[in-house]
Chains A and B, each alone.
Chain A
């Protein structure tokens, strides 16, 4: 799809689900987690789908000597694309496991149902657990060896049919001290539709981080160069990173409209805060300053800049 838009790289993602003889699972992903909690979110998806304990799932990322060739983490894509590759790999694992289970229970593959980690012959009380199937896959003594390879290790590549379209509204209230130009954010509320949410706490954390990054852009951060080309903001003594006391407690909520074209029904959430917050903050700053006849102020709206605008 992106090829038609001029992209010169594939935007697929890959995932390998390796079920071990013990029934524990290692997931190798081409996306990378540097604080977004993929280890938790991906493990949740696997634990829920296969009925294994979440502690029996390991997520491996970032080590190019171990993982398949993926595209990485950017554009709020890890769950929407990488998670979809995981879902497809899990489909393959389930399909193969059902064939093994059908063999073990001498039933037709079409009659096997899988739920809560148990393969059941529909309409009977005959069942076999996921762990037993995993062990059988690697100790294939009672196994359809003529028609099925041993092992339970599946890889899927997922190329998204379309972008995801998360939507939301962020509302910001500021108070400006006209004597000093200092801007204080007194209220910030965000409501976003990220499709299905796997882990609400992680999603809320992503929104918090994004908002703070956006507040930094709107009010605090800016690279300044001297006339001689020397970077004047070369350290955190001069470059203002947003800190906890620069922001209020946020009110964050989500609404769910599942994404129609990926298997998990999820949309990107990582960048929502950083996209919406600068606009919300600057709209609030403009609204406050317009009462004093100020029609334009650029980011970052530092105290000095706001004071200057008020006294121009």
Chain B
């Protein structure tokens, strides 16, 4: 690990100021990706600004048919929240299947989405539910937030403060895990929204979370697993690695989507 200066931020404003003052500063949420990256010397920031002490970034609020999760809320807190389980059970289920207990007790929703790992689970939940990302500067629709592999719409120094999820009529997430890392080889989040719309968000399969619009259209007319019979994703531009070919991933998108629809009940 290279040397860096550590800062504990007391508020969002304080964190933004400290990050701006550093020559090449990074913000640290749970550190689940940043710390291994530092240890492997893949990153060499001048300053690390720790968000862990900012109380205003933690907590869950349910009001007006929406669940708002503070950026520094851990996966375990979301997974074990009875309020989340009542309002959007699929969201609690997603959080409860991220990583392992150690990761769930340190990792945060803000850190996960700001990192935008192509195989992370939360991006599928945000896009699948049509969530809104709130930052210290503005609000960004999830559809516009995730822009590419490890890329987001966040500007330099912009800090995610919370994520607001509208409660759907029904939703479910199905993940086919990588046997080794247990990240998603393919994860599909399906939601039927209160307005009658359907969203199908796919993670793990491509360089970035995306929506399967053909499946959404098929489900809008007939919200049943049968409506997706024979449907797969296009293998063009899907990931290929030692664990799964693009064709296998394309096939799994269809399988996981059908299972998610069936799980919506």
Report yes or no: B252 in contact with A237, Cβ–Cβ below 8 A. Answer: no
Report yes or no: B179 in contact with A232, Cβ–Cβ below 8 A. Answer: no
Those of B241-262 within 8 Å (CB) of chain A: 242-245, 248, 251-252, 255
In the assembled complex, which residues on chain B have CB atoms less than 8 Å from the CB atom of A182?
A: 176
Report yes or no: A303 in contact with B255, Cβ–Cβ below 8 A. Answer: no
Rounded to whole angstroms, the CA-CA distance of A53 and B181 in the bound complex is: 47
Rounded to whole angstroms, the CA-CA distance of A253 and B90 in the bound complex is: 43
Given A179-B255, A180-B252, A308-B248, the answer on whether A233 and B242 have CB atoms closer than 8 Å is yes
B180 on interface, CB distance cutoff 8 Å:
yes
Report yes or no: B176 in contact with A180, Cβ–Cβ below 8 A. Answer: yes
Q: Which of B176, B242, B255 is close to A232, meaning CB atoms less than 8 Å apart?
A: B242
Min CB–CB distance A18 → chain B (angstroms): 45
In the assembled complex, which residues on chain A have CB atoms less than 8 Å from the CB atom of B255?
A: 179-180
Report yes or no: A239 in contact with B245, Cβ–Cβ below 8 A. Answer: no
Rounded to whole angstroms, the CA-CA distance of A308 and B251 in the bound complex is: 11
A302 closest partner in B (C-beta): B179
Given A179-B255, A304-B243, the answer on whether A240 and B179 have CB atoms closer than 8 Å is yes
Min CB–CB distance A174 → chain B (angstroms): 15
Report yes or no: B248 in contact with A307, Cβ–Cβ below 8 A. Answer: yes
Report yes or no: B180 in contact with A239, Cβ–Cβ below 8 A. Answer: yes
Report yes or no: A238 in contact with B180, Cβ–Cβ below 8 A. Answer: yes
Question: What total of chain B residues lie within 8 Å of the partner, measured CB to CB?
Answer: 13
Those of A165-208 within 8 Å (CB) of chain B: 179-182
Report yes or no: A220 in contact with B179, Cβ–Cβ below 8 A. Answer: yes
Given A180-B176, A180-B255, the answer on whether A237 and B244 have CB atoms closer than 8 Å is no
Report yes or no: B244 in contact with A304, Cβ–Cβ below 8 A. Answer: yes
Those of A198-251 within 8 Å (CB) of chain B: 220, 224, 232-233, 236-241
B interface, over-half SS:
loop
Rounded to whole angstroms, the CA-CA distance of A195 and B23 in the bound complex is: 70
In the assembled complex, which residues on chain B have CB atoms less than 8 Å from the CB atom of A220?
A: 179-180
In the assembled complex, which residues on chain B have CB atoms less than 8 Å from the CB atom of A232?
A: 242
Rounded to whole angstroms, the CA-CA distance of A260 and B89 in the bound complex is: 63
Min CB–CB distance A302 → chain B (angstroms): 6
Those of B207-265 within 8 Å (CB) of chain A: 242-245, 248, 251-252, 255
Q: How many A-B residue pairs have CB under 8 A?
A: 38
Q: Which of A181, A236, A304, A307 is close to B180, meaning CB atoms less than 8 Å apart?
A: A236
A interface, over-half SS:
loop
B248 closest partner in A (C-beta): A304
Mark interface residues in B153-175 (1 if CB within 8 Å of A CB, else 0).
Answer: 00000000000000000000000
Q: Which of A181, A224, A241 is close to B242, meaning CB atoms less than 8 Å apart?
A: A224
Rounded to whole angstroms, the CA-CA distance of A176 and B252 in the bound complex is: 15
In the assembled complex, which residues on chain A have CB atoms less than 8 Å from the CB atom of B252?
A: 180
Report yes or no: B181 in contact with A304, Cβ–Cβ below 8 A. Answer: no
In the assembled complex, which residues on chain B have CB atoms less than 8 Å from the CB atom of A179?
A: 255
Min CB–CB distance A12 → chain B (angstroms): 42
Given A179-B255, A180-B255, the answer on whether A240 and B245 have CB atoms closer than 8 Å is no
Which of A179, A304, A311: most chain B Cβ within 10 A? A304
Min CB–CB distance A281 → chain B (angstroms): 15
Min CB–CB distance B102 → chain A (angstroms): 14
B181 closest partner in A (C-beta): A237
Rounded to whole angstroms, the CA-CA distance of A237 and B117 in the bound complex is: 14
Report yes or no: B243 in contact with A302, Cβ–Cβ below 8 A. Answer: yes
Rounded to whole angstroms, the CA-CA distance of A180 and B180 in the bound complex is: 16
Report yes or no: B179 in contact with A303, Cβ–Cβ below 8 A. Answer: yes
Rounded to whole angstroms, the CA-CA distance of A233 and B179 in the bound complex is: 12
Report yes or no: B248 in contact with A238, Cβ–Cβ below 8 A. Answer: no
A239 closest partner in B (C-beta): B180
Rounded to whole angstroms, the CA-CA distance of A304 and B243 in the bound complex is: 7
Min CB–CB distance B5 → chain A (angstroms): 29
Given A180-B255, A307-B251, the answer on whether A238 and B176 have CB atoms closer than 8 Å is no
B254 closest partner in A (C-beta): A179
Which of B244, B245, B248: most chain A Cβ within 10 A? B248
Rounded to whole angstroms, the CA-CA distance of A304 and B245 in the bound complex is: 8
Rounded to whole angstroms, the CA-CA distance of A303 and B176 in the bound complex is: 10
Report yes or no: B242 in contact with A238, Cβ–Cβ below 8 A. Answer: yes
Min CB–CB distance A38 → chain B (angstroms): 32
In the assembled complex, which residues on chain B have CB atoms less than 8 Å from the CB atom of A311?
A: 251
Rounded to whole angstroms, the CA-CA distance of A29 and B243 in the bound complex is: 45
In the assembled complex, which residues on chain A have CB atoms less than 8 Å from the CB atom of B181?
A: 236-238
B180 closest partner in A (C-beta): A240
**19 pairs, A vs B, C-beta closer than 8 Å:** A180-B252, A181-B248, A182-B176, A220-B179, A232-B242, A236-B180, A236-B181, A237-B181, A238-B180, A238-B181, A238-B242, A238-B243, A240-B179, A241-B180, A302-B243, A303-B176, A304-B245, A304-B248, A311-B251
- New A-B contacts (19) at CB < 8 Å, excluding given A238-B181, A304-B248: A179-B255, A180-B255, A182-B176, A220-B179, A220-B180, A224-B242, A233-B180, A236-B181, A237-B181, A240-B179, A240-B180, A241-B180, A302-B179, A303-B176, A303-B179, A304-B243, A304-B245, A307-B251, A308-B248
